[in-house]
A and B are shown apart, each in its own frame.
Chain A
Amino acid sequence: MASRALQRMNIDPTILQKLTNRRLFTARDLLIATHLELVEALDITFQAAEELVLCVCNQIAPISSTVLDLHARAKLQLNHLQTQLSALDQQLRGGIPVGGITELAGSVMYIDTEKKFSSRRIVEMAKSRWPHTFHDQETIQSLTEHILVVNPDSSEALVGHIKALEASIIDHNVKLVVVDSIAALARSEFSRDKIVDRQQLLGQQAAILKSLAETFRIPVVVVNQVTAQMYAPSSHAFQGKTTSSGPAAQTQLTAALGTMWAHAVNTRLVLESVADVRFIKVAKSPAAPMAAFAYTITEAGMELLEGHTVPAQVLGSVINMHVAHEFNYEPQEMDI
């Protein structure tokens, strides 16, 4: 995870000393410089500069595999984490994929915001869903002892934790990372005029999380919020005025954190409700086209419902996708 230090590479010691003197410490420092800059800074010939660059590149460039090799390797590994929602798992070709970021986006009714993690709820779900497995003190304890919870209180702390994840993953044999939520801290700490800084930070977080997901072949799940869309859906300049530009006519909800974040996540699952029925929608997936599944929340957690007409999916750009929030706030009778 650390920047590739030139010190640790196989480089001529004289040149290495010159690099250090010129404050070129990492592979990035070296590769960002032009050959001419290196010639001047290190007082070497152009050819020597070329050779130096190639020497470093040889040591850090990723090695290729053929897709056939990837295919063979994939067969030997676990490539998905099942959600146990069978229709959803089928749509996603096995479940939440490893090696990338899966985002769950929905409004605050459905997702616990930060610091609302409940061990009691996890235990209740486990007992209800797998009563034969989690039936006594010992098994319950083995479950709760295998879930590690951290509570960063600032974006900086969050980044620190993410960077330190690599060690934790190795030490504790971690097979799933959940960030709940990725939005809360970012949105509270960065004001409207600091959006660029916020996006930089999110980009950094996304890159590290993806790298971890890929290196350790684990799923990374991040929870996102929804936000009222400030403007009518964005389109390209050449598309002309297909929809009214300017502030949005009515309050439409969309996943928070903007366009760049939408690019960064590999899979986006949106939780929404239409006419009091909850749906989980596959809004972005490299494996599957858009689809939605009705669900409900029970003691055992999320369960898919049969027999509900899925509302006609409006195909379109993920970044403009509305998150439906038609929910009746009237108190409902609870079956005791």
Chain B
Amino acid sequence: MLRPLAYLTAGARSAQHLYEKELAARKIITFCGDLDGMLGGGVATGQITEFCGVPAVGKTQLGIQLAIDVQIPAAFGGLGASAVYIDTEGSFMVERVVEIANACIRHLKKLANNDGSATRKEAASKVSRDGMLANIHFFRVRDCTEQASMLAVTQMLPSFIANHPEVKLIVIDSIAFHFRQDFQDMAQRTRVLAEMAQKLMHLAEEKDLAVVLMNQVTTKVLDNNRGSKLVPALGDSWAHAATSRVILYWQEQTRHAFLYKSPWLPAKTAEYHVTADGIRGRRPQKRPRA
């Protein structure tokens, strides 16, 4: 066995160490089996996952679902943690959080009843709607045309997390809104975004939490009358910021997700639905009675 060369390269960690860390990374489920499968179990801590997609494809719904699911108690395989939700768009609806929280609690109670586990029953009884709402720390970033508040929040996040160590998920919905305008100098925008991504990545790794960024799409007109294509907003250099990238899109009349960047998972798609209860998978077709 090779001895790690840590004493020669201060601060370096062996691939073995990182491998163990990767395997140990906890996952936040989405309640859509296919989506979780595509992500290798769920949204992983210790990295930045970006979800980009057209308006109304379900980005905010997914963000809210994750902010609830990060709270699922350890008895059910969850993290039993809290969330930070940073809203730049103004589409966050408290009523939806209430519905999704209630649905999650119903689901946990049902699971506990079905398998009769005393630990689970106890864990489920301790989860309450108000408790879940209280565990989501909400920041409304409300700049007009400057990004000062957005940048300030990112600067303050490390101390916020230090004061709230139970937070294991940060959702920024969306990262695009403030950065799509008012930057005369695109190079400057690239640098500012890169710096933000660095800070968030550092926080994700150091505190072992999941950072989820929602991004918009932009229409890129192709030359020679070839039509247009949808691409993630914020440009090509932004593509490097997130560890994993997922595109949410419509195929015929259903919503799908496509994992197209991941350090170790294969590219894959998954079908998902936005229901009154939150994000869910395909309903199993009822088999006709024989």
Write out the residue numbers on chain B whose beta carbons fall within 8 Å of the beta carbon of A231: 221, 227-228
B135-161: which residues lie under 8 A (CB-CB) from chain A? 135-149, 151-153, 155-156, 160
Which of B55, B152, B258, B260 has a CB less than 8 Å from the CB of A318? Answer: B55
Is B285 interfacial (CB-CB < 8 Å)?
Answer: no
In the complex the two chains form, is B230's CB within 8 Å of A245's CB? no
B207-243, CB under 8 A of A: which get 1 and which 0?
Answer: 0000000001111011001111111010000000000
A44-68, CB under 8 A of B: which get 1 and which 0?
Answer: 0000000001101110111111111
Known contacts A207-B145, A262-B55, A319-B219; is-contact A54 B230 (Cβ 8 Å): no
Write out the residue numbers on chain B whose beta carbons fall within 8 Å of the beta carbon of A260: 180, 216, 218, 233
In the complex the two chains form, is B195's CB within 8 Å of A34's CB? yes
Write out the residue numbers on chain A whose beta carbons fall within 8 Å of the beta carbon of B274: 289
In the complex the two chains form, is A246's CB within 8 Å of B225's CB? yes
Which of B174, B182, B228, B233 has a CB less than 8 Å from the CB of A234? Answer: B228
Write out the residue numbers on chain A whose beta carbons fall within 8 Å of the beta carbon of B152: 27, 31, 56-57, 60-61
CB distance from A37 to the nearest CB of B (A): 10
In the complex the two chains form, is A62's CB within 8 Å of B139's CB? yes
Q: How large is the interface on B (under 10, 10 to 19, 20 to 34, 35 or more residues)?
A: 35 or more
In the complex the two chains form, is A314's CB within 8 Å of B253's CB? yes
Which of B130, B145, B227 has a CB less than 8 Å from the CB of A68? Answer: B130
**Measured CA separation A101–B91 after assembly (Å):** 9
In the complex the two chains form, is B148's CB within 8 Å of A318's CB? no
Write out the residue numbers on chain A whose beta carbons fall within 8 Å of the beta carbon of B97: 67, 71
Residue of B at shortest CB range from A245? B227
Is A108 interfacial (CB-CB < 8 Å)?
Answer: no
Q: How many A residues face the partner with a CB closer than 8 A? A: 76
Is B113 interfacial (CB-CB < 8 Å)?
Answer: no
Residue of A at shortest CB range from B254? A315
Is B115 interfacial (CB-CB < 8 Å)?
Answer: no
Known contacts A235-B229, A242-B251; is-contact A259 B219 (Cβ 8 Å): yes
Is A7 interfacial (CB-CB < 8 Å)?
Answer: no
Is B65 interfacial (CB-CB < 8 Å)?
Answer: no
Is A4 interfacial (CB-CB < 8 Å)?
Answer: yes
B194-214: which residues lie under 8 A (CB-CB) from chain A? 195
Number of A-B contacts (CB under 8 A): 210
In the complex the two chains form, is A26's CB within 8 Å of B138's CB? no
CB distance from B150 to the nearest CB of A (A): 9
In the complex the two chains form, is A31's CB within 8 Å of B155's CB? yes
CB distance from A228 to the nearest CB of B (A): 14
Known contacts A27-B148, A31-B148; is-contact A315 B253 (Cβ 8 Å): yes
In the complex the two chains form, is B133's CB within 8 Å of A68's CB? yes
B183-196, CB under 8 A of A: which get 1 and which 0?
Answer: 00000100110010
**Measured CA separation A32–B146 after assembly (Å):** 10
Is B93 interfacial (CB-CB < 8 Å)?
Answer: yes
In the complex the two chains form, is A26's CB within 8 Å of B56's CB? no
CB distance from A19 to the nearest CB of B (A): 14
Write out the residue numbers on chain B whose beta carbons fall within 8 Å of the beta carbon of A238: 247, 258, 260
Is A93 interfacial (CB-CB < 8 Å)?
Answer: yes
Known contacts A53-B155, A234-B229, A315-B250; is-contact A64 B138 (Cβ 8 Å): yes
Which of B55, B149, B231 has a CB less than 8 Å from the CB of A237? Answer: B231
Q: Which 3 A-B pairs have the closest CB atoms?
A: A203-B181, A245-B227, A61-B152
Can you give 16 contacting A-B residue pairs, CB < 8 Å?
A3-B146, A54-B156, A65-B137, A67-B97, A67-B133, A67-B136, A93-B95, A199-B181, A236-B231, A239-B249, A245-B227, A258-B219, A259-B216, A263-B217, A316-B250, A319-B54
Residues of B within 8 A of A (CB): 54-57, 60, 84-85, 89-98, 130, 133-149, 151-153, 155-156, 160, 174, 176-178, 180-182, 188, 191-192, 195, 216-219, 221-222, 225-231, 233, 247, 249-254, 258, 260, 274
Q: A32-B192, A62-B140, A62-B149 are in contact. List 10 more A-B contacts (CB 8 A).
A: A26-B148, A31-B155, A62-B142, A62-B153, A68-B133, A71-B98, A204-B182, A215-B142, A237-B231, A315-B253
